[in-house]
Homo-oligomer: A and B are copies of this chain.
Amino acid sequence: MPDEDGHPSREEMSLLTVLNALSDPLRYAVVGALLREPEGTARTCASFNLPVSKSTITHHFRILREAGLVQQVDRGNSRAATLRRADLDHRFPGLLDLIGANL
């Protein structure tokens, strides 16, 4: 079962759900931006400067989190996200390389 924040375990991830999460241009851009950072980098949702409302940003990060693409951690009054590289590379080998080659 996903944890209390909706993060699926590695085994619970589904490629269809991951592809769905990646199929939105804003979410694809977030994953691409995290992919360009050093491994383990945590960025706040606000740092991506997405041109949409705060509630829409929350929605997009929920989709990313529930698909297993990002891990969100509380940071006082904001949340930061890291890319779940090791889990994604293990579960869907080659996927992040593909995205990295198509940014």
Contacts and interface: CB of A to CB of B under 8 A. Distances in A.
Interface of A: 14-16, 19-20, 22-23, 25, 28, 92-95, 97-99, 102
Contact of A19 (B22, B92, B93, B97): B22
Contact of A102 (B15, B25, B97, B99): B15
Nearest to A22: B19
Given A92-B102, A95-B98, A23 B19 contact: yes
A83 to B, nearest CB: 16
A14 B103 CA distance: 10
Contacts of A20: 23
Contacts of A23: 16, 19-20, 22-23
A84 B8 CA distance: 33
